[in-house]
Structure 1
């Protein structure tokens, strides 16, 4: 039997991973686009789909399957997300030059400074406050804009088109396409600026990156990559912080443990990513050969959706997977992906998440939701997952 994806019983407040963890390991489904494919829900199978070269992200050929019309979440033929080796290998190697451990670590004081400045304003205003609007959104937005060298004056325009791109189910296809065009135009202008007047930022490093053979990123590749970095680098972190605050407030014993022991902060970020992170499903892939997953034959040319949220709830990989536990050990969650498409900015996202959570629990004693959790509005399925707002209160 072929099921509809997302399932009709899905509710935005409930992580799809919680629902699909109860599905068979491999299920036949039909996507909103009308294309059929396979939904993969078990941890080991999802890792296989992410890392096995028999599953391809090159879905730009005529008639290729897609999740939603008019296409997938990626930006086009020049996107690193749509490439297999060897093209992916070249772009990944060049892109990695901007994401060195040293470069990211050097930005820690500035991230902390931004977080502190934002919370000063929150505390001065007093409770209640919407932590998405006043903290979770402006923090990673400011960080990514500074890292890429986006002029401050352009940030509000960037916010408008980025929100549309990452929530395509909430907008008409024409509006999504217009947002993509606006984003590409803004990034093209920024790339031209960095080429003419390079600065000490990530985008300048990408513009001028070359490998030992003299290869550079092409103009379309740079524009696509800059757009992806801005989108993935801030929207997912907004949701990581927002989801994290909701989870911690709904589990006060976990919040108390985190407040008492700063050493638990990195583990808290990992557990938030596992339990209810920004990435519920993954990008669609297609089988290049017949592959067997959990005893089910996936034939060449068939579409596969590896469900990250369900894999992160797999009891075989995470004992007591239905429990939120920031002390969980040896839990390699898949929220940042796996294999060659592992998130380029994972280290930066982890750093921002740790600084944000630590700042929140240290500066806002008695932090709690200001509304019943069931009244919080969540983005719909097939968007970057996260709450639209997180009203909170604290002991002023």
Structure 2
């Protein structure tokens, strides 16, 4: 057995800083490309506060580590790899994604019935109606638009609001806060982040209280009437569930939608394959998820015990970061990984994570993305960029990686 510290130290003369910003939503940052080229399964990186963590570069190793119960998701554990000052801010809740063991399993089981493939597919007519309505509004104002602000942020938000029974009348309030919490996380101070989290937590706290008094037809009302009233779920726990579903699911889906549109516009031959054979959209979506991997830094853990794997050692208390876009471009897992191939079988990508913490909302996200992309390119087959691609701007490193706007015309 070999200590991984010795391996990384021998091969890497300098420990790179992390996170590494993207300049393009569908291309690896230069820093990731260098890590991949060096061929090491893990490398040390330096975080904003001078601490260090391991970055996993190999797809197979990432899958095995994410199935290892000795890696903890609890952010309050010493050594958990925070990637910005904002993440050091205390929070008024503990979300499902930050739980281990029995706590995680119990809370996850409460949500599973609402997110099965069958239940989500029942929402297809509603999702199609939402997509058509947003496109109608965008086309009416056309023939140009910002696809982010006029389409991509609205569709997943409207679907999730309907699922939860949250009034969409408040969308400007919670969408602005969602962006600060997710996209802008890397640029916020701890106080700014705490304030943003506090605002949206307070909003959802009031909403859950209303659902407890008079349960509505959505998921929150169901959990309030069955779980909170029955004593198997606390009020604060339901608030934290609502926050994760409203914030994380909405932002990652809208960001993936935007990045996928640009990726297809930048790969016209692959887009033409989909337009010629719409039956390919379902499989192509997995390739787009692999290729864009917008929730790049969401998969982070800390070792709760020493872990020996492939002759390497991760010591107890050491942080582990699994950048989705890096492991999803591993040539050992995907042939020609930097090439978009909408006919590729890419179901084993890690865009939704892996193991017990795989994204519970992935079926809903897939449905929204598939309907949105297929309908968008069917109704606007001549869609194209309205500005040079070099003028597009990415969100700051440290949060969900996405385009801040996407001007298009048709």
TM-score, normalised with respect to structure 2: 0.89
1:3 to 10, 16, 34: 16
Measure how far apart 1:18 and its partner are: 5.0
Long gaps (5+) in structure 1: none
Query: Within the alignment, does 1:367 sit opposite 2:375 as a pair?
Result: no
The residue number in structure 2 matching 1:21 is 36
Q: Give the alignment of 1:1-396 within 5 angstroms.
A: 1-7=14-20, 11=23, 14-16=27-29, 20-23=35-38, 24-61=40-77, 64-71=80-87, 78-166=94-182, 167-210=184-227, 216-394=232-410
| Separation of aligned partners in 2, 1:294 and 1:5 | 24
Write out per-residue CA displacement over residues 69-105 of structure 1, whole angstroms, 9 at most, x where no aligned residue: 2426995652111111011111111122332334322
| Separation of aligned partners in 1, 2:402 and 2:319 | 26
Contact 2:304–2:316 at 8 Å: present in 1 too? yes
In structure 2, relative to structure 1, the CA distance for the partners of 1:72 and 1:369 (3 Å cut) is: farther
Contact 1:12–1:381 at 8 Å: present in 2 too? no
Contact 1:158–1:183 at 8 Å: present in 2 too? yes
Contact 1:50–1:338 at 8 Å: present in 2 too? yes
In structure 2, relative to structure 1, the CA distance for the partners of 1:4 and 1:293 (3 Å cut) is: farther
Measure how far apart 1:110 and its partner are: 0.9
- 1:392 alignment partner, SS class: strand
- 1:348 alignment partner, SS class: helix
- 2:140 alignment partner, SS class: helix
Across the two proteins, how many residue pairs are aligned to each other?
Answer: 391
Measure how far apart 1:283 and its partner are: 3.4
RMSD: 2.2
Measure how far apart 1:129 and its partner are: 1.2
TM-score, normalised with respect to structure 1: 0.92
Long gaps (5+) in structure 2: 1-13
| Separation of aligned partners in 2, 1:73 and 1:360 | 40
- 1:60 alignment partner, SS class: coil
